[in-house]
A = this chain, B = another copy of it.
Amino acid sequence: MQFSSESRVLALTGGVGGAKLCLGLAHCLAGEQLCIVANTADDFEHLGLNICPDLDTVMYTLAGLSDREKGWGLAGESWNCLSALEAAGGETWFLLGDKDIATHLVRTGMMNAGRSLSEATAKLCKQLGLNVSLLPMSDDPVRTMVQTAGGELPFQEYFVRERCAPEVSGFRFDGLEKARPQPEFLRTVEDSALRAIIICPSNPFVSVEPIISLPGIREGMASSQAPVIAVSPIVAGMAIKGPAAKMMQELSMPSSALAVAEYYGNLLDGFVIDERDWAQAEAIERLGISVLVVPTIMNSLQGRIELAEQVLEFSHSLM
Q: Which of A76-84, A143-151, A225-233, A245-253 contacts B (4 or more CB under 8 A)?
A: A76-84
Contact string against B for A residues 106-121, beta-carbon threshold 8 Å, 1 for contact and 0 otherwise = 1011011000000000
Complex Cα gap A81–B46 (Å): 17
Q: Are A46 and B84 in contact (CB under 8 A)?
A: no
A66 CB to closest chain B CB (Å) equals: 14
Q: Which of A84-100 contact B (CB under 8 A)?
A: 84-85, 87-91, 96, 98-100
Of the residues B46, B82, B84, B124, contact of A88 by C-beta under 8 Å: B124
Q: Is A49 an interface residue (CB 8 A)?
A: yes
User: What residues of B have a CB within 8 angstroms of the CB of A108 in the complex?
Assistant: 47-48
Q: Are B80 and A46 in contact (CB under 8 A)?
A: no
Complex Cα gap A90–B96 (Å): 18
A202 CB to closest chain B CB (Å) equals: 25
A277 CB to closest chain B CB (Å) equals: 40
Q: Which residue of B lies closest to A86 (CB)?
A: B102
Q: Is A103 an interface residue (CB 8 A)?
A: yes
User: What residues of B have a CB within 8 angstroms of the CB of A85 in the complex?
Assistant: 102, 105-106
User: What residues of B have a CB within 8 angstroms of the CB of A49 in the complex?
Assistant: 48, 105
User: What residues of B have a CB within 8 angstroms of the CB of A32 in the complex?
Assistant: none
A151 CB to closest chain B CB (Å) equals: 19
Q: Are B103 and A88 in contact (CB under 8 A)?
A: yes
Q: Is A123 an interface residue (CB 8 A)?
A: yes
Complex Cα gap A15–B258 (Å): 65
Complex Cα gap A292–B90 (Å): 44
User: What residues of B have a CB within 8 angstroms of the CB of A48 in the complex?
Assistant: 48-50, 104-105, 108-109, 111-112
Q: Which residue of B lies closest to A104 (CB)?
A: B48
A41 CB to closest chain B CB (Å) equals: 20
Of the residues B78, B84, B124, B126, contact of A103 by C-beta under 8 Å: B84
With A84-B102, A102-B85 known as contacts, the answer to whether A109 contacts B78 (CB < 8 A) is no
Q: Are A89 and B123 in contact (CB under 8 A)?
A: yes
With A45-B112, A47-B108, A81-B81 known as contacts, the answer to whether A102 contacts B127 (CB < 8 A) is no
Q: Are A101 and B81 in contact (CB under 8 A)?
A: yes
A50 CB to closest chain B CB (Å) equals: 7
User: What residues of B have a CB within 8 angstroms of the CB of A81 in the complex?
Assistant: 81, 98-99, 101-102, 105
Which of A45, A84, A91 has the most B CB atoms < 10 Å from its CB? A84
Which A residues form the contact surface with B (CB < 8 A)? 45-50, 78, 80-85, 87-91, 96, 98-106, 108-109, 111-112, 123-124, 126-128
Q: Which A-B residue pairs are the 8 nearest by beta carbons? A: A48-B108, A84-B102, A47-B109, A80-B98, A84-B99, A47-B105, A85-B102, A90-B106
